Amino acid sequence: MKLWQKEGVTTADKIDRFTVGRDREMDLYLAPFDVLGNLAHAQMLETIGLISSDELGMMTDELKAIYQKIHQGQFEIEEGVEDVHSQVELMLTRVLGDVGKKIHSGRSRNDQVLVDLKLFTRDRIWRVAEAVQRVFYRLIGRSEQHRDDLLPGYTHLQIAMPSSFGLWFGAYAEALADDMLTLQTAYRLANRNPLGSGAGYGSSFPLNRTLTTELLGFEGMHVNVVYAQMSRGKTEQTALTALAAVAATISRMAMDICLYNSQNFGFLILPDALTTGSSIMPHKKNPDVAELLRAKTNRLKALPMEVTLVMSNLPSGYHRDMQLLKEILMPAFDEILDCLDITDFMLEHLQVKPNLLDDAKYDLLFSVERVNELVLQGVPFREAYRTVGKEIAEHTYVPPRELHHTHEGSIGNLGNDLIVKSMDQTVKGFGHEKAQSAISHLLS
């Protein structure tokens, strides 16, 4: 069944398979959101007189029944049915007959898939935001737990200055707070209603787009119907850019863990339960979890460019090229959510080695402390710098291991409260409560 199929016109099976591609598989992600879009659209149709109140009642009851089947795992796109939109309409018409056929009035499959994708993307970005928050607060907790455990700081992979595990954990927490800003931007772009744009040129029916915007809990609508269609691709690219930002943070942390867990560094310990072994080397405890996190998140960083290439040189209006965006977008959410879940688990069980800087090989980490010590005695900085350099060269240098870092964001003043405040403010800026409330009301 195809919504566009005409009497006596058929498409070659080979063309059918090629053009449908993985769409039926990807459309299963959209099933609950297609029903939500139908519920809102049906209510709107009743207000403008295209269906009666009795017909609305029948449609609403059946759509809610379909929604329950989806959540019970009893929904499938049948063989020969092109996509989720066709399947839902088919299920309606089987039960309601001609009443079910009225659901497509004032709508194109283009704006139908657009609203499904907007609702799906909004939902998944919020799930990612929740998962990011869990990792964020795990990092903040570990930062506070290890605020006094010192760690070598590096530049150019050479020992540079004293750091701490409090700083290290906190740095990645603040990185996620920044990433949350990118997620909020992607969420708010997804949180705009394209329904009513039709095939990209509106409708001669007196559609009430403001009503469907409110019913679906959108922050606003894509006003211009041509731009509503042009938002396809931009929404996906922005969402994947946000996921790539989170992925970049996790990837970099995973690389640190691989380094810090190695014998050459020896700063962290991954418990046996988090490691794997070697088939020939009995001593091996490999950090496969961190290595796979690094690889999976690195791969996610490439996805915005895939969207860019698919959308390159497309003029305005709908093009079938856009179908492929589903295959890029939808599995990416599954991947990042899995990565965030395993990151949280790994961070929970990661063990920190204390007293690292007691080792004499880290004496030079304190050279800047020695310079600052002389400056506080009145020696000009450049002269103090040369003096300490001479002490090091002549082996008379004695590291001052007592640290006095008091400014915001330093070893002695982590500023985690400010980082938490930043995260909380960004999360509030999503405005997700409105969407939750609207969807609950729509299904009630």
Radius of gyration of the chain (CA): 28
Q: How do residues 52-69 score in pLDDT, each as one tens digit? A: 999 999 999 999 999 999
pLDDT in tens, 117-140: 999 999 999 999 999 999 999 999
For residue 58, what is the domain's CATH number?
A: 1.10.275.10
Overall domain count for the chain: 3
CB 172 within 8 A of CB 380: no
Residues 87 and 213 in one domain: no
**At 226, which CATH number?**
1.20.200.10
Query: What is the maximum span of the chain, computed from C-alpha positions, in angstroms?
Result: 95
Query: Can you give the pLDDT at residue 333?
Result: 98
> What's the rounded mean pLDDT across residues 136-149?
97
The whole-chain average pLDDT of the chain stands at 93
Cα–Cα distance, 161 to 365 (Å, whole number): 4
Higher model confidence: residue 2 or residue 250? 250
User: Could you give the CA distance from residue 42 to residue 101 in angstroms, rounded to a whole number?
Assistant: 12
Residue span of the structural domain in which 50 resides:
13-104
The catalytic site residues sit at 156, 278
State whether 60 and 116 are in the same domain. Answer: no
The contacts of residue 410 (CB under 8 Å, 6+ apart) are 167
Backbone angles phi, psi at 290, to 5 degrees: -70, -35
- The residues with which 136 forms a beta bridge, in sequence order, are none
The verdict on residue 268 lying in a domain is yes
Whether 349 and 372 share a structural domain: no
Tokens 């001669």, located at residue: 204
Residue among 262, 341, 165 at smallest CA distance from 275:
262
Per-residue model confidence as pLDDT tens digits over 162-199 = 999 999 999 999 999 999 999 999 999 999 999 999 99
- 342-384 pLDDT per residue, tens: 999 999 999 999 999 999 999 999 999 999 999 999 999 999 9
- Find, among 105, 76, 110, 72, the residue nearest to 91 by Cα: 76
**What residue spans of 262-320 are helical by DSSP H?**
288-300, 303-311
Instruction: Verify that 31 and 91 share a domain, yes or no.
Output: yes
pTM over 0.85: yes
Domain-embedded: residue 60: yes
State in Å, rounded, how far the first CA of the chain is from the last one: 31
Distance (Å, whole) CA 89 – CA 103: 8
At residue 273 the predicted structure's pLDDT band, cuts being 50, 70 and 90, is confident
SS3 call for 151 = strand
Percent of the chain whose pLDDT exceeds 70: 95
